[in-house]
Structure 1
């Protein structure tokens, strides 16, 4: 007989396969088949990248719909999450790679303008605490588009406003801040960010991330020169701040003009979800993501969840698509066990296609191994 136990399901998404809420639901279905008396709470999480707004909506926050400009100018639906005077805005869902029409990359011309539109919408609602989830950006414009949508003007040497896109910033001569949204001054901005890249140089926004957005070897120097000039007129002292290079330099624009602070994405998300309180009375935590690897050890969601649970004395297991860490590394991360879809289905394509039923099987095994008297 199984005694009633409290299980907290706090997975991140399985990228390219299932959203975090879908992962949690599949695990719950499997656990319930083996341990029908278990009390299960589903609290999907994210680290600031894609899926962040969905995680907060699943936790009971209000979803606010807005129409915003995508990275290449097309208007499309977007949303953010609100509770009280706090808003969580996910860059990826507004101006990320997933918002490129037909997946067509535009490394020189893509913009963060839509992000500024969403921020302005939240400010107009009276929000005073804005968390920006940075990740998955399609542009390398140093946050210029975001600032333009918030009322700033970017002017060239002849007094004309520049068009959107990162490449045009090489001609920028002045950032006119006089028209900035009046509520910015009274708002606090937090960047939920898990990269520490500066804006410029060999570990900066262009060198590390622009190739992923389609920039060729010939285009990289163009973007680097543009961001260097942008830093000169906006605030070079912010260019070296860890996280300034996040999301194509959007971190820099937010630091220099919005007065933002950078924090670990998963730490911010767990704090806003009041995760320590959710652990009260829990006997097991299940977290996970698509790939548990060395990147995971640098502030990804499962490690963050495990750290908080470990502090509260609650054992944590991982349910993942594949585990590329050694058993010793998994234990060092704080997990008591790790269950991988790859162990059930070696084919990556089939593992992705049938992730939900495979996760249900993993849920069953987790219950067998961890929820016995």
Structure 2
């Protein structure tokens, strides 16, 4: 993203999911100039360990060009940042986390959310009004990356298939078609929950 911004890109479509991380997006924020600090005022380490050690946040050194950027985030899960349906509990075990680790990481995520809320409540930032809601559907996507995008970068979390169909102009593409063929492993109860066939059908 940083490289793309340096080359003039301002409108982003980013797919999140299937990650191997559970860091709430703090690694991305660090890469963009954010200060995610421990109690001694040093940048926290990468990964969940960084979330554990997080004590304060500052956005004053984020890339100024971010104010000019828009982010559409393709996100196909509706999990919140923390809690029983949050990223640590739902996706942590897939990444090798034990039940004990999951409970710890979930607590770290909740603390991260509180530190974020306190920062924006106490500071006037260059990014203006923020969207703080750790329970917003999709904030738990990709180990909490959805939360970072929405809260710090004003990213709009959207179903991936909707973004793709809009970008390719599906309505015009199929307006004279008699048959539309989509990819889907099988038709079942999940199909109506935002999978390609049901979303394409909305353009009939």
Distance 1:292 1:139, change over 3 A: farther
Structure 2 match to 1:270: 165
Higher strand share: 1
TM-superposed deviation, 1:238: 2.0
> How many residue pairs end up in the alignment?
191
Tell me the TM-score normalized by structure 2.
0.87
**Cα RMSD for the two superposed structures:** 1.5
What are the superposed Cα offsets for residues 321-354 of structure 1, whole Å, 9 maximum, x if unpaired?
xxxxxxxxxxxxxxxxxxxxxxxxxxxxxxxxxx
Deviation at 1:302, TM superposition (A): 2.6
- Tell me what 2:48 maps to: 166
Runs of 5+ unmatched residues, structure 2: 119-131
Deviations 1:284-312 (A, max 9, x none): 1111223433223211223222332xx2x
Match of 2:199 among 304, 321, 346: 304
Describe the shift of the 1:235–1:261 C-alpha distance in structure 2 as closer, same or farther (beyond 3 A): farther
Cα distance in 1 for residues equivalent to 2:186 and 2:96: 24
TM-superposed deviation, 1:186 = 0.8
Q: Secondary structure at the match of 1:195?
A: coil
Alignment of 1:112-123 (within 5 A): 119-123=1-5
Q: Which of 61, 66, 69 is the matching residue for 1:184?
A: 66
Distance 1:135 1:292, change over 3 A: farther
> Does the CA contact (< 8 Å) of 1:167 and 1:222 recur in 2?
no
Quote how far apart the aligned CAs of 1:252 are: 0.4
**SS of equivalent residue, structure 1 residue 151:** coil
1:39-88, Cα deviation, whole Å (9 max, x unpaired):
xxxxxxxxxxxxxxxxxxxxxxxxxxxxxxxxxxxxxxxxxxxxxxxxxx
- TM-aligned CA deviation for residue 251 of structure 1: 0.4
Instruction: Give CA deviations for 1:3-22 in whole Å, capped at 9, x if unaligned.
Output: xxxxxxxxxxxxxxxxxxxx
Instruction: Indicate conservation of the 8 Å contact 1:123/1:183, yes or no.
Output: yes
